[in-house]
Amino acid sequence: MSSLLIAVAAFVAVSALVGGVAMMLRDKPSSRIEDRLDVMTGLASPSAAKGASEHSVLTQPLDNVPGFFETLLGRFRNIELLFEQANTSLTVSRLVLICAILGLAGAGAGAALGINLFLIPVLACVMGVLPVVWLVFRRKRRLKAFAVQLPDALEMLARSLRAGQSLSSGFNAVATEMSAPIGTEFGRVFEEQNLGISLEESLNGMGERIPNLDLMFFCTAVILQRQTGGDLAEILDKIGSLIRERFQIWGQVQALTGEGRLSGIILLALPIVLFVTVYQMNPDYVMVLFTDPMGKKMLAGAVVMQVLGALVIKKIVNIKV
């Protein structure tokens, strides 16, 4: 029982530390609508509102894609944006609480099943990370759905412009006729324009919420057309056809790299499955990796090699289109 209490106390301490760091690092900027309302009511100066639009889509290169570490640190620095991109009502405190509850449940289940003391913290950490994995998976699925819907939305917007309607009415048509997530995002841009926010700021905000290269092309085209003129409907048709061709090429690449991706999944899952199987058959044989000094070095080396193998396989099969 004392060992269980020690494991639980260690997990609670780590969870509290992670939660405290997340609370300190999260950014709480006021929304663009609140900034606009503050300017209109005299609570803020117009220069403060202009500072929010300094990072416009026109001042950023279209291929400005952040790296892995920049993306990871950016999510922790502005974790509320991650919640918004995943379209969930969770907050940092709720997420930390859920992680702590699942971690304690994992530690308790491991103790009740009689799992070795060295594996209880591992099980608790795995259970505690599950909500974060679910949040990232939900965000990825929503962004993928948005990318699939974007060509249809651009074609609908082009048809609306050819019918003589305004660009704002086209955004409203997309928001009304198409489902989430693209209907929600275009509807938000339409509502922000009704509140007095400029189109460039609204499109820039949508680009921050949806980090998609094709959407950045669309936002840049719309802003340039409003400044220089031109046939926006034809431009939207060309962007939509370009996106469809990219999806077609991406599907071919996925089919050609399917064998490599499946081999990577099998090779990465095989050591874990073998470890669990041997542990069920002969626990003492496996626990040498945790008790013997040489076993600990071998286990650390195996974990490092697994991570390096995963990165290499991902680099091989992840072909950008």
pLDDT, tens digit, 9 for 90 and up, residues 91-147: 888 888 999 999 898 888 888 877 777 778 888 888 899 999 999 999 999 999 999
Which ranges in the chain belong to alpha helices (H)?
2-25, 32-41, 46-51, 68-77, 79-86, 92-112, 120-162, 167-177, 182-194, 199-209, 213-228, 232-256, 258-281, 283-286, 288-291, 293-317
Distance CA 100, CA 304 (A): 27
pLDDT of residue 35: 58
pLDDT of residue 27: 44
Residue appearing with tokens 């070795």 = 116
pLDDT of residue 144: 92
pLDDT of residue 70: 46
pLDDT of residue 48: 44
Distance CA 31, CA 47 (A): 16
pLDDT of residue 138: 94
Distance CA 150, CA 218 (A): 10
**HSE on the CB side for 134, CA within 13 Å?**
11
CATH superfamily, with its number, for domain 144-254: Type II secretion system (T2SS), domain F (1.20.81.30)
- CA angle (141 as vertex; 320, 88 as ends), nearest 5: 135
Q: Is 236 exposed, middle or buried (0-12, 13-18, 19+ CB in 10 A)?
A: buried
Residues of the chain whose pLDDT is less than 70? 1-77, 321
Q: Is 295 exposed, middle or buried (0-12, 13-18, 19+ CB in 10 A)?
A: middle
pLDDT of residue 120: 83
- CA angle (105 as vertex; 89, 285 as ends), nearest 5: 130
Beta carbons of 92 and 22 less than 8 angstroms apart? yes
